[in-house]
């Protein structure tokens, strides 16, 4: 019977951990993007009517994501 080496065990454990973390980060990024899109749509509807060519300077605050 061939047992995996300690390096293989550590490698697969780290790979699994990284995969879980990157999945969580991906979910959080997608949520943040969704929030930004929602704010952008509201800003466009309120301040950028199609017939006008106004530009908006905006900034992002942590409160936007609560």
Q: Which residue has the higher pLDDT, 1 or 59?
A: 1
The whole model's pTM is what?
0.45
pLDDT of residue 61: 64
Phi/psi at 47 (nearest 5 deg)? -115, -10
48 is a domain residue: yes
Note whether residue 22 is domain-resident: yes
Buried b (16+ CB within 10 A) or exposed e, 7-36: eeeeeeeeeeeeeeeeeeeeeeeeeeeeee
Average pLDDT, integer, range 6-34: 86
User: What pLDDT digit, counting tens, does each position of 27-61 carry?
Assistant: 888 888 888 887 776 665 565 555 655 555 555 66
Q: Specify if 17 maps to a domain.
A: yes
Asked if residue 61 belongs to a domain, the reply is yes
User: What's the pLDDT score for residue 24?
Assistant: 85
Provide the domain limits for residue 51: 6-65
DSSP string for 7-42: HHHHHHHHHHHHHHHHHHHHHHHHHHHHHHHHHHHH
CB-based contact 37:12 (threshold 8 Å): no
Is 15 part of a structural domain of the chain? yes
Structural domain total, the chain: 1
Determine, yes or no, domain membership for 1. no
Instruction: Classify residue 30: in a domain, yes or no.
Output: yes
């Amino acid at each position: 019977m061939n047992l995996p080496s300690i390096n293989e065990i550590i490698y697969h454990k780290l790979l699994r951990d990284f995969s879980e973390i990157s999945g969580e980060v991906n979910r959080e990024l997608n949520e943040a993007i969704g929030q930004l899109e929602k704010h952008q749509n509201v800003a466009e509807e309120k301040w950028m009517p199609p017939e006008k060519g106004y530009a908006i300077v905006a900034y992002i605050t942590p409160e936007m994501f609560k």
